[in-house]
């Protein structure tokens, strides 16, 4: 099995792991956003609460969600390992920096990733942890269901009435947008997919995705804070 360890510890193997986990997380964000947009229904949380109940009690989803957490951690830890070895690539820095030949996002992927990770800690601590491991959320009846479900909608409503939580969300999502701005097309390059025929399409899609998805998420706290 030495060939596989040699492969996965080589610089290209390490990057392949970043690329594949990154692309998986890109797909996850679409799923997550489409579920969360139910928060915008004007039904006092009926749709969102029954969705949240399903997502936290369905066995298959729970199983998959632990896979997702593992891949988030793998992406984050591997990213830090790579960033650390990249720092060792240049022990003495230049006196005059060069910002002309690449983008801000591409230079600061590790920092942006770290910001997204801290944002995730705040985000999951507030919603996921309270939903799954505490009894802080009220039980409410939902039309058409036999059991009462936890009122996550009320927690979202309360959280997004706090200005500094809304600010953390917006900043976290800006960091995410920049991370995706570079990460989307970079994942394809690492897989070896770079060609004049389709790379402009990948780059275009990456730009649209990295603006649209974080903007979609940002609508939710802004809607609760300013409109609702």
Partner 1 sequence: MNLKLKIWRQPNKEAKGKFEVYEVEATPEMSFLEMLDVLNDQIIEEKGNPIAFEHDCREGICGTCSMVINGQPHGPMGLTTTCQLHMRHFKDGDTIVIEPFRATAFPVLKDLVVDRDSFDRIIQSGGFVSVGTGQAPDGNSILIEQEVAKDAFDAASCIGCGACVAACPNASAMLFVSAKVAHLAYLPQGQVEASKRVKRMVHQMDREGFGNCSNTYACEAECPKGISVENIAKMNREYFSSVIGSQKK
Q: Give residues in contact with partner 1 (CB under 8 A).
A: 2-3, 6-7, 10-16, 82, 85-98, 100-103, 106-107, 109, 182, 185-186, 189-196
Which residue lies nearer to partner 1 by CB, 186 or 210? 186
Q: Say if CB 121 and CB 172 are below 8 A apart.
A: no
Task: Establish how many alpha carbons lie within 13 A of residue 197's alpha carbon, considering only the half-sphere containing its beta carbon.
Answer: 1
C-alpha torsion 55→56→61→66, nearest 10: 130
Minimal distance in Å, beta carbon 29 to partner 1?
20
Minimal distance in Å, beta carbon 14 to partner 1?
7
Minimal distance in Å, beta carbon 101 to partner 1?
4
Which residue lies nearer to partner 1 by CB, 12 or 30? 12
Judging by beta carbons within 10 Å of its beta carbon (0-12, 13-18, 19+), is residue 48 exposed, middle or buried? buried
Which residue lies nearer to partner 1 by CB, 59 or 97? 97
Q: Say if CB 218 and CB 173 are below 8 A apart.
A: yes
Which residue lies nearer to partner 1 by CB, 15 or 123? 15
Q: CA 183, CA 177: separation in Å to the nearest integer?
A: 10
Minimal distance in Å, beta carbon 190 to partner 1?
6
């Amino acid at each position: 099995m030495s060939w596989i360890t040699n492969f996965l510890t080589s610089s290209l193997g390490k990057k392949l792991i970043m690329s594949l986990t990154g692309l998986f997380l890109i797909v996850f964000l679409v799923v997550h956003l489409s579920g969360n947009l139910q928060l915008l229904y004007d039904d006092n949380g009926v749709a969102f609460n029954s969705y949240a109940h399903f997502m936290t009690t369905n066995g298959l989803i729970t199983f998959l969600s632990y896979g997702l957490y593992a891949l988030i951690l793998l992406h984050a830890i591997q990213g830090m390992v790579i960033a650390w070895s990249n720092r060792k690539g240049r022990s003495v820095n230049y006196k005059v920096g060069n910002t002309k030949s690449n983008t801000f996002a591409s230079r600061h992927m590790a920092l942006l990733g770290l910001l997204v990770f801290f944002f995730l800690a705040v985000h999951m601590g507030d919603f996921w942890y309270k939903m799954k491991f505490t009894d802080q959320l009220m039980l409410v009846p939902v039309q058409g269901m036999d059991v009462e479900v936890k009122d996550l909608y009320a927690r979202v409503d309360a959280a997004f009435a706090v200005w500094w939580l809304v600010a953390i969300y917006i900043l976290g999502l800006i960091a995410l947008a920049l991370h995706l701005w570079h990460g989307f097309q970079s994942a394809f390059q690492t897989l070896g997919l770079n060609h004049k025929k389709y790379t402009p399409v990948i780059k275009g899609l990456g730009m649209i995705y990295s603006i649209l998805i974080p903007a979609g998420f940002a609508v939710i706290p802004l809607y609760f804070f300013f409109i609702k």
